[in-house]
Amino acid sequence: MTSEKTKKRLFSFSRKQLCIPYAVFLILFVIFPLLLIIYYAFTAKDGSFTFSNFVWFFTNPTPIKNLFSSMLMGLIITALCLFIGYPVAYVLSRLKSHRRTILLLLFIMPMWINFVLRAMAMKELLSFVGIFGKHDYLSVVIGMVYDYLPFMILPLYTTLIKMDKSLEEAAADLGASKAKVFTSVTLPLSAAGIASGITMVFLPSMTCYVISKTYSNGKIAIIGDLIELWFGSGGNWHYGSVIALVLLVIMFLCTLLTGGFSGQGNARETVL
């Protein structure tokens, strides 16, 4: 009897075991590459410990210029996506369920298409209207907004659809105008969605060198181009790792500032 119970315990299934594949994935594809980047960032070509790679980054005008131009590009893309995406998400959250599903599907469907195919399709469209080849910066901005707009709409829509509509009704019953209801109730309640959308758009748009290269014929370089250069034809993983580590710190700070680590408390507390 005892041996049978022991066998059952050995072969019993636990829900904790479902975490094993995910833990293995994290170790192999997240933790190990991160440790590798840290190693290359703090070592020279002979393997000795050094800070010279960071000195190169912060004293060389090329990576600093690319970093700030990439941040400016990211801010422009994020602002445009928020300006376009918020009204879209707001309208979608107010529609009836069947209309909402159809329109939401139209926004999601482009994400199912291969990224390169979407980039090439938009490039042909910009060529047709006469923008591509004449206005490089505008072409890159349009291409970025086209690709990252769904990443702004979806978190906003998710937040707005879960919003307690009774709070807006209560504000209106108390005499608040539609504008006051929006600024005092709707906008604060959607702050979590705004922060999530900003994080999902700002950071990738800083490093998406494929669009910047494709839409500007290589005339506009962002920080992602430097990473691709040093890990590729440049052949210096130490410099590439420093740039990647700096971007990782920027990503951490952006997530911290937008409340990504706070858990975003109760929406009612945000209003109150």
The lowest-confidence range among 71-75, 80-84, 171-175 is 171-175
Predicted pLDDT of residue 6? 54
pLDDT at 265 over 80: no
pLDDT digits (tens, 9 = 90+) for 153-164: 999 999 999 888
Average pLDDT of the chain to the nearest whole number: 84
**Residue 141 CB partners (closer than 8 Å, separation 6+):** 73, 76, 77, 80
Predicted pLDDT of residue 209? 84
| Band (216; pLDDT cuts 50, 70, 90) | confident
Predicted pLDDT of residue 12? 60
Average pLDDT estimate for 95-110: 80
pLDDT at 232 over 70: yes
- 3-state secondary structure labels for all residues of the chain: CHHHHHHHHHHCCCHHHHHHHHHHHHHHHHHHHHHHHHHHHCECCCCCECCHHHHHHHHCHHHHHHHHHHHHHHHHHHHHHHHHHHHHHHHHHHCCHHHHHHHHHHHHHHHHCCHHHHHHHHHHHHHHHCCCCCCHHHHHHHHHHHHHHHHHHHHHHHHHHCCCHHHHHHHHHCCCCHHHHHHHHHHHHCHHHHHHHHHHHHHHHHHCHHHHHHHHCCCCCCHHHHHHHHHCCCCCHHHHHHHHHHHHHHHHHHHHHCCCCCCCCCHHHHHC
Predicted pLDDT of residue 134? 84
- The amino acid at 142: I
* Of the ranges 101-105, 130-134, 197-201, 233-237, the best mean pLDDT one: 197-201
pLDDT at 269 over 50: no
18 or 141: which leads in pLDDT = 141
Predicted pLDDT of residue 268? 37
| Band (11; pLDDT cuts 50, 70, 90) | low
Predicted pLDDT of residue 238? 92
Distance in angstroms (rounded) separating the CA atoms of residues 23 and 197? 27
| Band (57; pLDDT cuts 50, 70, 90) | very high
**pTM exceeds cut of 0.75:** yes
pLDDT at 82 over 90: yes
Query: What are the structural domains of the chain?
Result: 67-271 (1.10.3720.10)
Distance in angstroms (rounded) separating the CA atoms of residues 26 and 2? 38
Predicted pLDDT of residue 270? 37
Average pLDDT estimate for 139-144: 91
